[in-house]
Amino acid sequence: MLKVYNTLTRKKEEFKPRKDKEVGIYTCGPTVYNHAHIGNLRAYVFADTLFRYLKFAGYKVKWVMNITDVDDKTIRDSKKAGVSLKEFTEKYEKLFFEDIEKLNINKKEFFKIPKATKYMKEMQELVKVLLDKEIAYIKDGSIYFNIQKYIDSGHKYGKLLKIDMANFKRGERVEADEYEKENVQDFVLWKAKKESNEPSWDFKIEGKNYPGRPGWHIECSAMSRKNLGNPFDIHTGGVDLIFPHHEDEIAQTEGAYDVPIANYFMHNEHLLVENQKMSKSLGNFYVLEDITKFGKPLAFRLLALQTHYREKLNFTKDSMLQAEVALTRVYEFIRKLLWVEKTGQKDRVSFLLKKVEKEFSVAIADDLSTPRALASLWESIAKINKLIDEGLLNKKEANLFYDFFLKIDRVLGLGLDEVLQPKIDPTIVGLINKYKKATVNKDYETKDKIRTEFNKLGYKIEDTKYGIPRITFLGEK
Ligand code: AMP
Ligand code: ZN
């Protein structure tokens, strides 16, 4: 049973999906105007771990992550760069996917990756429903969400924040996408075009055109509804998105359709650098490339998992160096397990395996407690390493642990199944992929052939209980 901390209730709750075996997750994706920084990457490692875990637990998971390719920042900076909005945002979108791929977040795993500029119709439809219900109004060519009207029609504003509405000043408006917590104001749904060279879209309402562009919040309400329906199961993002972004997403969807946008909101805490907020002026603003001087990208993934997603993560160069050492140790341990050749029946470790299996699943199911899960793994690795060094572990037992570690790596994503895949040789990688495919297709003839080819190349490939083939380099001992 999975328990998750739901920002809507401020409690850890049992996770109950809307459909029996299917889960819909919506993650607020990157605003593509710059390289993603390591704080952003923490947010996606968290969402990916949640996605992986739900898949691992047997759900069919529809994971949707949007790309914000039109907002104040993308418009401002594309203009500065002197290129079109499309060219500008496509560049950063590509860089974003290159970065997350290095963290084992696979683009192919997403159900949909909607881009805001492709959802104008859906956004305008939503705005029209709000106008029809008089929860939105037009002012100087822009369209705003009327918070007082929303409240008067029986809704509650401030579901995530628990805002004191007594301090809410009626009639004030804000046009920027991001605004301060003290300012609960009518927010913008559609922004009128102001300068002639500004990117804009037509918006016809009752025969009149309102050229402009969407506000940031409406983008996510429209894209999540179109791809997952309402309510979908889990909405994720960093804590900075609680207000105003998610609060306003909730209000738009509920105001228009009288349904909650999502049943659970899960928010990751921020990453700090040397205990400070990352900022360019402090010189502590890191992107993935900056930190890979100190360790592999997957060491950063490990580092992110070592802190619970609801805790602040204090990044330091030292912590990255340590994560690199820890990851290398795990890789070495996996290789070592495969080199165990000792035969024999005496069972020394089944209790240990049961213990770590249980501790791992209990920890992860407890609001994704990856630090606890990892602590349990480290403990078992130390014990098994000792047994190997003392020549007390037999091959059968070593294989069981190998299989277990590869199985749980489907949740952790630390690249353990790649440890033995010699990346240098694309022939081998190609053969492994063919082998995996043949396994799925139950094509035993092809599998036999691949096995023989592997032997010729100096490797052994075997099936394991969990469907991930085990590859042994016969030459290495
Ligand atoms: P943005 O591209 O600014 O919309 O941010 C993308 C994601 O990164 C959002 O979920 C943010 O909440 C999250 N985020 C931004 N800064 C940090 C940080 N320092 N630590 C963790 N997550 C962050
Ligand atoms: Zn969003």
Q: Which ligand is nearest to the CA of 216?
A: 2
How far is C-alpha 253 from the geometric centre of its chain's CA atoms?
23
Distance CA 57, CA 21 (A): 10
Least confident span in 78-87, 313-322, 340-349, 394-403: 340-349
**For residue 7, is it within any domain?**
no
Relative to the alpha carbon of 242, which ligand is closest?
1
Is the CB of residue 297 below 6 angstroms from any atom belonging to ligand 1?
no
**At CB < 8 A and 24+ separation, what contacts does 471-474 make?**
471/420, 471/421, 471/428, 471/432, 472/338, 472/420, 473/420, 473/422
Assess whether the C-beta atom of 40 lies below 6 angstroms from ligand 1. Answer: yes
Query: For the chain, what percent of residues have pLDDT higher than 90?
Result: 74
pLDDT band at 423 (very low <50, low <70, confident <90, very high): very low
271 lines ligand 1 (CB under 6 A): yes
Percent with pLDDT over 70 in the chain: 92
Q: What distance lies between CA 37 and its chain's CA centroid? A: 14
* Ligand in closest contact with the CA of 267: 1
How much is the pLDDT for 420? 64
Q: Which ligand is nearest to the CA of 116?
A: 2
For the entire predicted model, the pTM comes to 0.89
Asked if residue 241 has its Cβ within 6 Å of ligand 1, the reply is: yes
Q: What is the pLDDT of residue 461?
A: 83
Q: Is the pLDDT of residue 477 over 70?
A: no
Atom 15, ligand 1: residue with shortest CA distance? 40
Residue 94 CB coordination number (10 Å): 11
The last residue of a domain, from among 226, 245, 268? 268
Residue 107 lies in a domain: yes
Quote the CA–CA distance of 159 and 147 in Å, as a whole number. 13
The answer, yes or no, to whether any atom of ligand 1 lies below 6 A from the CB of 379, is no
* Residue at 370 is within a domain: no
Average of pLDDT values for 226-255?
Answer: 97
Domain end marker among 252, 268, 284: 268
Round the average pLDDT of the chain to a whole number and report it. Answer: 91
Q: Which residue's C-alpha comes closest to atom 7 of ligand 1?
A: 40
Does residue 244 have a cis peptide bond before it, meaning omega lies within 30 degrees of 0? yes
Residue 114 lies in a domain: yes
**Which domain covers residue 32, as residue numbers?**
15-268
Mutate to test the pocket of ligand 1, among 240, 288, 312, 313 (most ligand atoms within 8 A of CB): 240
Determine the distance separating the centroid of ligand 2 and the alpha carbon of 83, expressed in angstroms: 25
CA of 146 to the centre of ligand 1 (A): 27
Q: Is the CB of 250 under 6 A from ligand 1?
A: no
Q: In whole angstroms, what is the distance from residue 238 CA to residue 269 CA?
A: 6
What residues form DSSP beta bridges with 63?
25
Is residue 75 domain-resident? Answer: yes
CB 337, CB 420: distance < 8 Å? no
Among 310, 183, 189, CA closest to 243? 183
Task: Identify which of 34, 35, 40, 303 to mutate to test ligand 1's pocket (most ligand atoms within 8 A of the CB).
Answer: 40
Q: How many domains does the chain have?
A: 2
398 CA → ligand 2 middle, Å: 45
Q: Which of 268, 283, 311 is the C-terminal boundary of a domain? A: 268
Cα torsion 173, 178, 180, 185 to 10°: value is 20
What's the token pair of residue 279? 């900022």
pLDDT for 361-417, tens place per residue? 999 999 999 999 999 999 999 999 999 888 889 989 999 999 999 999 999 999 998
Ligand 1 pocket member 240 (CB < 6 A): yes
Domain of 199: which CATH number? 3.40.50.620
The bridge status of strand 271-273 relative to strand 313-315 is: parallel
- pLDDT tens, position by position, 181-220: 556 789 999 999 988 889 999 999 999 999 999 999 999 9
167 — pLDDT class (breaks 50, 70, 90): low
Instruction: Please give, one letter per residue, the 3-state secondary structure of the chain.
Output: CCEEEECCCCEEEECCCCCCCEEEEEECCCECCCCCEHHHHHHHHHHHHHHHHHHHCCCEEEEEECEECCCHHHHHHHHHHCCCHHHHHHHHHHHHHHHHHHCCCCHHHCCECCEHHHCHHHHHHHHHHHHHCCCEEEECCEEEECHHHHHHCCCCCCCCCCCCHHHCCCCCEECCCCCCCCCCCEEEEEEECCCCCCCCECCEECCEECCEEECHHHHHHHHHHHHHCCCEEEEEEEHHHHHHHHHHHHHHHHHHHCCCCEEEEEEECCEEECCECCCCCCCCCCEHHHHCCCCCHHHHHHHHHCCCCCCCEEECHHHHHHHHHHHHHHHHHHHHHHHCCCCCCCCCCHHHHHHHHHHHHHHHHECCCHHHHHHHHHHHHHHHHHHHHCCCCCHHHHHHHHHHHHHHHHHHCCCHHHCCCCCCCHHHHHHHHHHHHHHHCCCHHHHHHHHHHHHHCCEEEECCCCCCCEEEECCCC
Q: If you measure from the C-alpha of residue 53 to the centroid of ligand 1, how many angstroms do you get, rounded to a whole number? A: 21
What spacing in Å lies between the alpha carbon of 214 and ligand 1's midpoint?
21
Partners of residue 232 on adjacent β-strands: 262
Q: Is the peptide bond before 231 cis (omega within 30 degrees of 0)?
A: yes
Please state the separation of Cα 29 from the chain's center in Å.
9
Alpha carbons 415 and 250: distance in angstroms, whole number: 37
Answer whether residue 404 is part of any domain.
Answer: no
Residue nearest to atom 18 of ligand 1 (CA): 39
Distances (CA, A) of 184 to 166, 180, 242, 399: 11, 8, 13, 58
| Centre of ligand 2 from the C-alpha of residue 146, in Å | 20
Vertex 456, ends 451 and 457: CA angle to 5°? 95
Query: Is 307's C-beta closer than 6 angstroms to any atom of ligand 1?
Result: no
Which atom of ligand 1 is closest in space to residue 271's alpha carbon?
A: 20
Residue 298 lies in a domain: no
Q: Whose CA is nearest to atom 8 of ligand 1?
A: 40
Which residue shows structure tokens 């739900």?
54
Q: Cβ distance 64 to 228 under 8 Å?
A: yes
Residue 347 falls inside a structural domain? no
Counting ligands in written order, which one lies closest to the CA of residue 217? Answer: 2
- 234 C-beta closer than 6 A to ligand 1: no
